[in-house]
Amino acid sequence: MPDRPAPRPRGRMFFANPGPTNIPESVLRAIDRATIDFNDPEFVENTYHPARAGLKRVLGTSAELFMYTASGHGAWEASLANLLSPGDVVLIPESGFFSDQWARMAEGLGLSLRKLHADWRRGVDPAAIEAELKADTGHTIKAVCVVHNETSAGVTLPLPDIRAAIDAAKHPALFLTDTISSLACMPFEMDAWGIDCAVGGSQKGLMLPTGFSFTGASAKAMEAHKQAKLPRFYLDWTVMMTRRELRSFVGTVPTSLFYGLQESLRLLEEEGKETVYARHARLAEGVRRCIATWAGANDGPQFYCTDPTRRSNSVTAILMPEGHDAEAVRRIARQRFNVSLGGGLGKLNGKVFRIGHMGDLNEPMLLGTLGAVEMALQLAGVPHRKGGVDAAMEYYSATA
């Protein structure tokens, strides 16, 4: 027999990464449109403005919204470059790989980084932020940057409590938040929660392809922007505001993504914000029942997040038992069962794998993923208590 390459897996890949996420069929169909001039009044009036207004409703803001043809990193950079000046001190509470990335970016842009150390397995205590700000009597800290949902660790931080901590310290720092993997998955209210700048992206809860990102900016942020001297051009809000009609984007607008956005917003509004959040919470709980079963008497895979009240409703990070490789489990799931899981990022590589449960998902999709993971644990020789998938099914049927 001649050597033949391994056959391509048949059937649909179960895509369980915590971003990018599954794109609904109707969004794919909506994007499938001929090119149009992005200044064409038909596009601007019927797609661009309604989509922009819808996105503001999802963010819970009536403030300014600026958009970029870039992934989430671009909007992160915009949040810093538009609000701060060289040497300004930014306080970044540690939550995991993504808070570290934002911090590295701040340093790279010439800001003075003050990192607030915290355990990645539970994230920062708001009291520690309050103490740090109270100690800063000269108000040298210009911004506090918090990742709402730390996608690398599966930890969600309580933003309203952090806002309360900033207020309790009577500190004027701007409050910047990354809502990239929480928006449209769990409650996020930019205005009601007193957030000055909210950073979001297209390819997670919004169920779109990668390629555009955005920042909401409060009135206080717009004031700070006028004084901010970090160099910028493509991401500059002032440059954007000179585009009278669009008030966003320097350069070409990703029109195809806007057709998709219009449809994803329609889906979200048809389901309703609260229902979308409840669906995410319920699907996540089934995953957690499964993992709690696998954990057994603590010799199986564990929740990476040690605080049950902070376990994320959009992603679960699973810590392997000592001596077992998370990458081996991911490889088996991918090669044998055509299931794509998230890997451990940065220092968590090999130690953690992640199941994304954000966006366009239902019970059977997650049960398929969990079933494949349970088989992969078996094949990789990872100790675990059987019956994880049963526990998830029991929960989903009891709450159907």
Ligand X SMILES: *Cc1c(COP(=O)(O)O)cnc(C)c1O
Nearer to ligand X, 171 or 357 (CB): 357
d(CA 62, CA 49): 14
Residue number, nearest CB to ligand X: 72
d(CA 69, CA 212): 5
To ligand X, the closest distance from the beta carbon of 19 in angstroms equals: 5
Sign of the torsion formed by the C-alpha atoms of 386, 301, 158 and 64: negative
Residue 20 preceded by cis peptide, ω within 30: yes
To ligand X, the closest distance from the beta carbon of 105 in angstroms equals: 10
Sign of the torsion formed by the C-alpha atoms of 229, 234, 237 and 238: positive
To ligand X, the closest distance from the beta carbon of 177 in angstroms equals: 10
Residues between 182 and 241 that touch ligand X (CB under 6 A): 201
Binding mask of the shown chain, residues 6 to 25, with x at each position contacting ligand X by CB under 6 A: -------------x------
Three-state DSSP class for residue 129: helix
Indicate whether 69 belongs to the interface with ligand X (CB under 6 A): no
Residues between 88 and 147 that touch ligand X (CB under 6 A): 98, 147
- Residue keyed to tokens 């077992």: 324
H, E, C per residue of 333-350: HHHHHCEEEEECCHHHCC
To ligand X, the closest distance from the beta carbon of 232 in angstroms equals: 17
Q: Which stretch binds ligand X (CB under 6 A): 69-77, 116-124, 214-222, 236-244?
A: 69-77
Q: Which stretch binds ligand X (CB under 6 A): 71-79, 158-166, 231-239, 316-324?
A: 71-79
To ligand X, the closest distance from the beta carbon of 202 in angstroms equals: 8
Q: Which stretch binds ligand X (CB under 6 A): 173-181, 238-246, 326-334, 364-372?
A: 173-181
The residue within the footprint of ligand X, chosen from 178, 236, 263, 374 (CB under 6 A), is 178
Indicate whether 72 belongs to the interface with ligand X (CB under 6 A): yes
To ligand X, the closest distance from the beta carbon of 99 in angstroms equals: 8
Q: What is the DSSP string of 288-353?
A: HHHHHHHHTTTTS-EES---GGGB-SSEEEEEPPTT--HHHHHHHHHHHH-EEEEE--GGGTTTEE
Indicate whether 26 belongs to the interface with ligand X (CB under 6 A): no
Indicate whether 305 belongs to the interface with ligand X (CB under 6 A): no
Q: What is the CA radius of gyration of the chain?
A: 22
Cβ count near 231 (within 10 Å)? 9
To ligand X, the closest distance from the beta carbon of 387 in angstroms equals: 31
The residue within the footprint of ligand X, chosen from 33, 49, 73, 114 (CB under 6 A), is 73
Nearer to ligand X, 72 or 301 (CB): 72
Nearer to ligand X, 202 or 255 (CB): 202
- Residue keyed to tokens 């809860």: 205
Q: Which stretch binds ligand X (CB under 6 A): 178-186, 302-310, 319-327, 379-387?
A: 178-186
Three-state DSSP class for residue 156: strand
Nearer to ligand X, 72 or 344 (CB): 72
Phi and psi torsions of 335, nearest 5°:
-80, -40
d(CA 155, CA 304): 9
d(CA 317, CA 153): 6
d(CA 230, CA 235): 11
Size of the site for ligand X (CB under 6 A): 12
The residue within the footprint of ligand X, chosen from 21, 47, 79, 181 (CB under 6 A), is 181
Binding mask of the shown chain, residues 368 to 397, with x at each position contacting ligand X by CB under 6 A: ------------------------------
Number of alpha helices (DSSP H) and beta strands (DSSP E) in the chain: 14, 14
154, 304 in Cβ contact below 8 A? yes
Indicate whether 71 belongs to the interface with ligand X (CB under 6 A): yes
Nearer to ligand X, 19 or 368 (CB): 19
To ligand X, the closest distance from the beta carbon of 153 in angstroms equals: 10
d(CA 316, CA 291): 9
Indicate whether 151 belongs to the interface with ligand X (CB under 6 A): yes
Residue ranges in contact with ligand X by CB under 6 A: 19, 71-73, 98, 147, 149, 151, 178, 180-181, 201
